[in-house]
Chains A and B, each alone.
Chain A
Amino acid sequence: MRMNPAQLSVSTPTDLEIVMTRQFNAPRQDVWRAMTEPELLRRWLFSPEGWKMTDCTMDNRVGGRYRWAWSDASGTEVLIISGVNKEVTPPSRMVHTETMQMPACGGPVGELLATIELTEKDSGTFLKMTLVFDSKQARDGALASGMEQGVNAGYMKLDGIFDASVAR
């Protein structure tokens, strides 16, 4: 069925942004459903080892809230991702806020604005997800993705990242 292995591409066009793109071999309407219907979403959204997704509530209207929560073996919520829909244009565009909380760590650990765009391409669907960070802590996470280039080449490459950010 899958003609080409679909490659996830991750880029960081600015210090505050992460852009992920991926091609899917499916009609756009199906991708939209899989991303907005709780019973489909919980089948593919990650569950960290030993945790279970225990809440997947979504109100897919503009101004509607969604809440995803994961619990540990004792049933205690350990991770909550929630937010409000700013734009909902089925089956092509969705903008929502995203706040991540880990109760064991205290308050919210990051906040961002996510834009999901689906376009018809090569008889399938092209997904573009743009994450824009606005809090300081969240920006630190963006900094981490800036280091992605450093993975293979180690510190020499990290040096380059430091150079770029020190240069004025």
Chain B
Amino acid sequence: MVIEKNARLDRAFRALAHPARRAMLKQLASEECNLSALAAPLKMTFPAALKHVRTLERAGLVKRRVHGREHTCRLDPGPLDEAVDWTRKCREVWEANFRRLDDVLAELASERRAKPKA
């Protein structure tokens, strides 16, 4: 469904729209981390880091496993693929628009040639 896909993209873009969450994703791109390891470089409290991780989780960008007090986080890049794909589609739409505009412009030119000014 288009609408469901849009909602998923909205969540992914919203999740990416915060520097702390992008920093977390970058860290997770190289290795799995627990929550304290994610919080430390950002000088964040555990609850603040958890809040950001939950946003990433809801966007489907991060998977979290809880063992007692240990929260292990792992990157799931799937929604990023979708975000990149959306951008490419947007570009394709404009390329197609402008190709059709070329045709309309060619028609305007040939109409003018067919009806020269008196």
CB atoms of A8 and B95 under 8 A apart? yes
Q: What B residues does A62 contact at CB under 8 A?
A: none
Count the B residues whose beta carbon is within 8 Å of the partner chain — how many? Answer: 39
CB atoms of A145 and B87 under 8 A apart? yes
Contact flags (1/0) for A1-34 with B, using CB distance below 8 Å? 1100010101000000000101011100011011
Instruction: Give the A-B pair count, Cβ closer than 8 A.
Output: 107
Interface residues of B (CB under 8 A from A): 3, 6-7, 9-10, 13-14, 16-17, 19, 22-23, 25-26, 29, 77, 80, 83-84, 86-88, 90-91, 93-98, 100-106, 108-109
Min distance, Cβ B1 to any Cβ of chain A, angstroms = 10
Q: What B residues does A140 contact at CB under 8 A?
A: 10, 13-14, 16-17
CB atoms of A159 and B26 under 8 A apart? yes
Q: What B residues does A141 contact at CB under 8 A?
A: 13
* CA distance in complex: A165, B29 (Å): 16
A61 CB-CB contact with B under 8 Å: no
